[in-house]
Amino acid sequence: MHTAPAFQPAVAGPSGTPAARRRRVIDAPTRMFHWLFALSFVGASLTAAGERWRALPGTLGSALAGLFALRVLYGLVGPRQARLVPMVRRLRAAPAWLRSFAQALRDCSVQGVNWRQGQNLLMAFAVVALFAMVVPLTLSGYGTYDDWGDFLGGDWLEDVHEFFAEVFLVIVLGHVAMIALLSVSRRRNQALPMLSGHIDGSGPDIVKRNHAWLAVLLLIAVIVFVGWQWQQSPNGLIPAKGSTQSWSDRRHHHDD
Ligand code: HEM
């Protein structure tokens, strides 16, 4: 997890003015993954309403699933700081933290509770929960898109998909709210590392190599995928203005 390590004051420059030192904590592929992942989810959520728009959320949902698969692969074979196991292992501290918190409640005192650790655990939990939710969300989404539910009749699979989409949205809103609250309480923009990859302060870079080429490759892969889907889809991914033909009409027409 990339939560900023303890702050260390910057060393003074030759003219005595403190040199702005910064450390790289998140590499380019992880940051590119993050914003493509966030955009795919937000785009799919905003266009999911209404039968005529099924092509675009379908494509963005597939992009979300593809990005997740690549992130898991990167988390298994990628650089140490991008590994997923430490991210999950970090949650092992949660039961002990919850016990200390429960004890503090019983003692009616907030002393002795490591709030910073609690915040980091909540951030890590939100991220792990998002990763865990991608599978049921995209699988039920693809099943709805491909009418898997028909054999049992009714839109039960669409209901399942909407349930997971709402759970995912709640976790995302919690994730963004936590980052906003932490930025205020720690008086430091916690979103910045996911944009620039750096945090201010001296000390060794946690990320030795940025792998910008891999981030560019990931971006190109997503653009090519969406472009291919657009080309494959009967009338593109965005229904023509005033066209009343629903997605399944267009799709079944396309299959004829
Ligand atoms: C303005 C919106 C957002 C901001 C500022 C933001 C910021 C961040 C930051 C700073 C981290 C690193 C957390 C840490 O190191 O503890 C992070 C991680 C993450 N965020 Fe967001 N986020 C945003 C929206 C989203 C959305 C919409 C999603 C999902 C659809 C998302 C999914 C994730 C995931 C999966 C990670 C883990 C990244 C990894 O390690 O690969 N975020 N985000």
Phi, psi of 114 (to 5 degrees): -80, 90
Reference 166, options 135, 133, 131; nearest CA is 133
pLDDT of residue 4: 47
Alpha helices in the chain (DSSP H): 28-47, 55-77, 84-89, 94-106, 115-145, 156-185, 192-196, 212-232, 247-255
| Whether 186 contacts 176, CB under 8 Å | no
| Whether 10 contacts 200, CB under 8 Å | yes
Joined together, the tokens standing for residue 142 give 């693809």
How remote is the CA of residue 184 from the centroid of ligand 1, in Å? 17
Q: Which of 1, 3, 34 is the pocket-test mutation for ligand 1 (most atoms within 8 Å of CB)? A: 34
230 phi-psi bin (left φ>0, alpha ψ -120 to 50, beta other) = alpha
Ligand 1 pocket: which residues have CB below 6 Å?
1-3, 30, 33-34, 37-38, 41-42, 71, 123, 127, 130, 172, 175-176, 179, 190-191, 193-194
| Whether 22 contacts 199, CB under 8 Å | yes
pLDDT of residue 242: 62
Taking the CA of residue 40 as reference, the ligand 1 atom at the shortest distance is 30
pLDDT of residue 151: 64
pLDDT of residue 60: 95
Quote the Cα angle for 243-247-252, to 5°: 115
Phi, psi of 215 (to 5 degrees): -65, -40
**Chunked in runs of 10, what are the mean pLDDT values of the chain (256 residues)?**
47 56 92 98 87 80 96 93 86 92 86 87 93 95 79 77 96 96 92 94 88 98 94 76 55 50
pTM of the full structure: 0.86
pLDDT of residue 248: 54
pLDDT of residue 50: 63
- Quote the longest CA-to-CA distance of the chain: 76
Taking the CA of residue 71 as reference, the ligand 1 atom at the shortest distance is 41
pLDDT of residue 1: 46
Q: How far is Cα 126 from Cα 143, in angstroms, rounded to an integer?
A: 26
Reference 141, options 56, 71, 80; nearest CA is 56
Q: Which of 137, 171, 194, 211 is the pocket-test mutation for ligand 1 (most atoms within 8 Å of CB)? A: 194
Q: What is the 3-state secondary structure (H, E, C) of 15-41?
A: CCCECCCEEECCCHHHHHHHHHHHHHH
